[in-house]
Amino acid sequence: MRVTIYDIAKEADVGIGTVSRVFNNHPSVSHGTRSRVLEVATRLNYRPHPYARGLASNRTNSILAVIPFFTTFFFLEILQGVQSKLSDLDCDLILYGVNHPDQVASSLRQNALRSRVDGILFFSMKMPEEFALQYLQHRTPVIVVDSYHKSFDSLTVDNQEGAFHATTHLIKLGHKRIGLLNANIESAPARERLKGFQNALTGAGLAIVPGLVKNSSSPILDGFTRNAGYELMKQFLSLKGEMPTAIVVASDIQAVGALAAINEAGLKCPDDVALIGFDDIELASHLELTTMRQPMYEMGALAADTLADRLKNPKEKVSQTKFVPKLIVRKTCGASMHRKQIEAIA
């Protein structure tokens, strides 16, 4: 039979209230009693029943992570960060993966309401208003990561700043004719990255050549796909002599497609055209892709922390944190080449 607080109470010759207090670190238990209870509990191998606890205290000690399954690379690292904090909080992680952005609402309807959780981490997708309202009403804290909602704490990557750094890096390497291979301008990240790109050029006194900014028109994942990168790169390649000497690519996955197009054309990166990506997905290091790294582990960890804070202070005003991506220099930007050479190319 299961060991309960009654067994412990009897064995340690105290009341059940006292046993409960010991396990909840309630201050008003004398030192002697506490250690006696703990000794007995260890001896009988007692473990509190989480559901009984949850039922009685109206806490669940578990949180829900809603993640998109369709962009694999990104998430295990984030979850790692989340979990590193969660074990401190003595909290379970319930995972709910959504297969397609369009299914968020129906998926949530089907699943997320079933489980009772203390809080929710919501990743990379637009939170449907229907659920936002519901969570607000139920006072279930939600942290939105890599996305934004006015009513919830959010952690985002500063896309504009990231694109600014990326572009500036290329400028510093001596490039004057720099292109932007962007995603679908309908999406906020694409717009922000465009803005950062423009600011960097303008700030350096370079002109923004419209023909060198190419937005994807693909509706599929807003153009953040390998294929979108491939197609846009082919457009750049068709410019021949007018081609930029370096291109800022809105995401690594697009850069992968771009590299394929470059190879196919018989050209070399970075010799013929330099590339800089965004994200630092697993592939990036294998392809020696220079990129703007998003601090995923850190975002995960901070998301968990933020949720913990929110659970403690429900009234606090909604916070908004921005992470600045970090430049990871590899080979595709040509930083290892001598500047003279680059200038010769340009």
Q: Which residues of 229-312 form beta strands (DSSP E)?
A: 246-249, 274-279, 291-293
CB 289 within 8 A of CB 255: yes
Cα–Cα distance measured from residue 248 to residue 295, given in angstroms and rounded to the nearest whole number: 19
DSSP conformation class of 212: G
Considering the rule CB under 8 A, would residue 93 count as an interface residue with a copy of itself? Answer: yes
* Core vs surface per residue 48-58: b (16+ CB within 10 A) or e: eeeeebeeeee
Which partner, DNA, a copy of itself, none, binds residue 164 by CB below 5 to 8 Å per kind?
none
Instruction: Report which of 52, 13, 46 is spatially closest to residue 32, judged by C-alpha positions.
Output: 13
Considering the rule CB under 8 A, would residue 308 count as an interface residue with a copy of itself? Answer: no
Instruction: Tell me whether residue 134 or residue 147 sits nearer to DNA (CB atom).
Output: 134
Instruction: Tell me whether residue 89 or residue 337 sits nearer to a copy of itself (CB atom).
Output: 89
Cα–Cα distance measured from residue 282 to residue 97, given in angstroms and rounded to the nearest whole number: 20
From 49, 149, 195, 331, residue interacting with a copy of itself (rule: CB under 8 A): 49
Considering the rule CB under 8 A, would residue 238 count as an interface residue with a copy of itself? Answer: no
Instruction: Tell me whether residue 58 or residue 317 sits nearer to DNA (CB atom).
Output: 58
Q: Is 322 helix (H, G, I), strand (E, B) or coil?
A: strand
Considering the rule CB under 8 A, would residue 287 count as an interface residue with a copy of itself? Answer: yes
Considering the rule CB under 7 A, would residue 15 count as an interface residue with DNA? Answer: yes
3-state SS record for 191-207: HHHHHHHHHHHHHCCCC
Smallest distance from a copy of itself to CB 339, Å? 25
Which partner, DNA, a copy of itself, none, binds residue 17 by CB below 5 to 8 Å per kind?
DNA
Instruction: Report which of 268, 173, 178, 189 is spatially closest to residue 221, judged by C-alpha positions.
Output: 189
Candidates 21-29, 100-108, 142-150, 327-335 — which segment interacts with DNA by CB under 7 A?
Answer: 21-29
From 43, 52, 100, 106, residue interacting with a copy of itself (rule: CB under 8 A): 52
From 33, 83, 151, 218, residue interacting with a copy of itself (rule: CB under 8 A): 83
From 38, 40, 44, 48, residue interacting with DNA (rule: CB under 7 A): 48
Considering the rule CB under 7 A, would residue 207 count as an interface residue with DNA? Answer: no
Cα–Cα distance measured from residue 302 to residue 155, given in angstroms and rounded to the nearest whole number: 8
For the segment 204-233, give every residue that binds a copy of itself (CB under 8 A): 226
Tell the burial category of 97 from Cβ atoms under 10 Å away from its Cβ (0-12, 13-18, 19+): middle
Which partner, a copy of itself, DNA, none, binds residue 183 by CB below 5 to 8 Å per kind?
none
Chain residues binding DNA by CB under 7 A are: 2, 4-6, 9, 13-18, 20-21, 23-24, 27-30, 32-34, 46-49, 52-53, 55-58
